[in-house]
Structure 1
Amino acid sequence: MQHSFLQNNRAFLYGDAVFETVKIIDGKILFLEDHYFRLMASMRILRMEIPMNFTMEHFESEILRAVQSESAEASARARITVYRNDGGFYLPVDNTISYQISVSKIEKPLYEFERQAYEVDIYKDFHVSKQLISTLKTTNKLIHITGSIYADENGLDNCLLLNEEKNVAEALQGNIFMLKDGILSTPPLSEGCLNGIMRKQILTLARTFENIEVAEAPISPFDLQKADELFLTNVIKGIQPITKYRKKEFETVFAGQLMAKLNAKVRLG
């Protein structure tokens, strides 16, 4: 049976869509400006026509209206998916857009530092491309889907994705950071990683530590085994410490200090 919405929908047919997942605490969207401007940049890169009324205020009000309709005002996650309107095959009829917002409640509003074991490994079946489109949140997530299945089948909590030069690009659900000898590194966007909103926050917060040097630099799988700490970041989870990669186990001290600063920033608004 075909559903009429899907029959000609370009997001469904071709993955012709981008999305933002935001976290809402006490009726406020965290990192609102960053989410809005990333969405606008993504739409421009994909040649989508941005409506005149699609201001940051409109973006905010539409999301909060959807949250209120789900009675999830206290704490929630919302996803806004922007897709090119029906028509055409690979070549669209025009570049106008529509969007859909979905909402789910979150039980605990502030970020929580999780201390349980969290094991990762590398997913090698497919690679992330070192190109601008890889940095966008599009609805083409087949590498992340097949990687998630691989992680589940192998009893892993997450997997790391490589680019075509065999450097680490990102994790299945976020960006990766590595602490080694007082240097906190994360792959630059030129490595093909997602232009993460939480990635940006962590880079800024890490620079407030006097004893930490911050670098955007390529990370090889070999580098991971020499690290003092590894952790993942995304807007919903905040910071997820990695406790084990292959046979190497890691500390989580600095990740905990960063999480405290992140929550302080969130409380202050």
Structure 2
Amino acid sequence: MSAEASTLAMFDGELLPLEAVRLPLPNRGLQFNDGFFETLICAGGRVKWLPDHAARLQRAAAALHLDLPASLSTPAALGATLTRFAAASGVAGPVRLRLQLWRGGGGLYAPPTANAHWLLTAAPFTPHDALIAQASFATGIRTQFSPLSFCKGPYALHYVLAAQERQARGLDELLLLDAHGHVAEAVAAAVFWLKNGVLYTPSLESGCVAGIRRAHLLRVARAHGLPCQEGLFAAAELLTAEAAFTANVAGIRAVAQIESVLFAADHPLLADLRRWEAV
């Protein structure tokens, strides 16, 4: 088993060496970004949060009017496909999988088919839960709510630009706002905060991605009686929080500072959330 990215891929159900993958042309994924992707973690022979991934996959396919291949169309089929590839990938330990889907065929904007191609790749998974020492609000890009903003891929260029701004400003994290100044998300993670015993997170109407870890944390918090509030919140409201953190499939990261405001990185409710979801 290897600690490097896998040299294998699965293309439309066929296991191939990466260098043998030949993407068909014309390619609507390249031409029009006519598709989406999922990032998943497979550990111990199981895919974490599989029902959530399957639900978002099905919702994204429906939104784009794509037919899912049978091997991806149900939670059971998706799980079997992913675990089979993870086992064959040669990656040691937990595996980070990327599943990319795009519409087949050519044409101009009006698509000629609902059939989808798909590609699976694998790399080692390393949890990412380090403290975010300094975060700030984005100035160069805003999120936009749409029928597709919940899934990953259609608005990928927004996050490329946000990551460039984060790097240019020397920040550990950048927080995106929507067009009306409401908090939306981080560059590649959901954002949460704690205040007066309540867990807050932006609603999907902010244009944020419907994050898998976001959904899981809200379920866990509610199951343990922690009040949760999803909504449209001004940046100033986040700055009054006791603690703030980001969450995605790679980990939960406490935020020490946003702009000039300090937060409690060791907040007891954040410790509770970490403990509850680890069960």
Mark yes or no: TM-score above 0.5.
yes
Distance in 2 between the 1:100 and 1:117 partners?
A: 33
What does residue 84 of structure 2 align with? 65
What does residue 240 of structure 2 align with? 226
Could you give the per-residue CA deviations for residues 48-93 of structure 1, whole angstroms, max 9, x where no partner exists? Answer: 1233453323212221222122222631110111110031121112
Q: Which among 207, 210, 224 is matched to residue 192 of structure 1?
A: 207
Q: What's the CA shift for 1:191?
A: 1.9
> Which amino acid is the alignment partner of residue 69 of structure 2?
P
Residue 249 in structure 1 maps to residue 272 in structure 2: no
Residue 29 in structure 1 maps to residue 47 in structure 2: yes
Could you give the per-residue CA deviations for residues 217-252 of structure 1, whole angstroms, max 9, x where no partner exists? Answer: 212111122110111111122x11111101111112
Q: What's the CA shift for 1:132?
A: 2.5
In 2, are the aligned partners of 1:27 and 1:73 still within 8 Å (CA)? Answer: no
How many residue pairs get aligned? The number is: 256
What does residue 157 of structure 1 align with? 172
In 1, are the aligned partners of 2:246 and 2:254 still within 8 Å (CA)? Answer: yes
Q: Which among 72, 78, 83 is matched to residue 97 of structure 2?
A: 78
Distance in 2 between the 1:204 and 1:60 partners?
A: 21
Summarize the alignment of residues 46-57 of structure 1 with structure 2, pairs less than 5 Å apart: 46-53=64-71, 54-57=73-76
In 1, are the aligned partners of 2:41 and 2:47 still within 8 Å (CA)? Answer: yes
What does residue 173 of structure 1 align with? 188
Distance in 2 between the 1:20 and 1:189 partners?
A: 18
Identity across matched positions, percent: 24
Q: Per the alignment, do residues 45 and 30 of structure 1 end up closer, same or farther by CA in structure 2, a change over 3 Å counting?
A: same
Q: What's the CA shift for 1:126?
A: 2.0
Distance in 1 between the 2:69 and 2:94 partners?
A: 29
Distance in 1 between the 2:254 and 2:147 partners?
A: 27
Distance in 2 between the 1:40 and 1:73 partners?
A: 29
Q: Per the alignment, do residues 112 and 171 of structure 1 end up closer, same or farther by CA in structure 2, a change over 3 Å counting?
A: closer
CA RMSD, Structure 1 to Structure 2 (Å): 2.0
> Which amino acid is the alignment partner of residue 248 of structure 2?
N
Distance in 1 between the 2:155 and 2:128 partners?
A: 29
Q: Per the alignment, do residues 14 and 214 of structure 1 end up closer, same or farther by CA in structure 2, a change over 3 Å counting?
A: same
In 2, are the aligned partners of 1:187 and 1:217 still within 8 Å (CA)? Answer: yes
- Of 240-249 and 131-140, deviating more is 131-140
What does residue 267 of structure 1 align with? none
What does residue 97 of structure 1 align with? 116
- Of 98-107 and 250-259, deviating more is 250-259
> Which amino acid is the alignment partner of residue 148 of structure 1?
A
What does residue 183 of structure 1 align with? 198
Distance in 2 between the 1:34 and 1:73 partners?
A: 25
Q: Per the alignment, do residues 48 and 18 of structure 1 end up closer, same or farther by CA in structure 2, a change over 3 Å counting?
A: same
Q: Which runs of 4+ in 1 moved over 6 A?
A: none
Q: Secondary structure at the match of 1:127?
A: strand
Q: What's the CA shift for 1:112?
A: 6.9
Distance in 1 between the 2:229 and 2:181 partners?
A: 19
Q: What's the CA shift for 1:209?
A: 4.2
> Which amino acid is the alignment partner of residue 227 of structure 1?
A
Unaligned stretches of 5+ residues in structure 1: 265-269
> Which amino acid is the alignment partner of residue 81 of structure 2?
E
Q: What's the CA shift for 1:186?
A: 0.7
TM-score (norm 2): 0.85
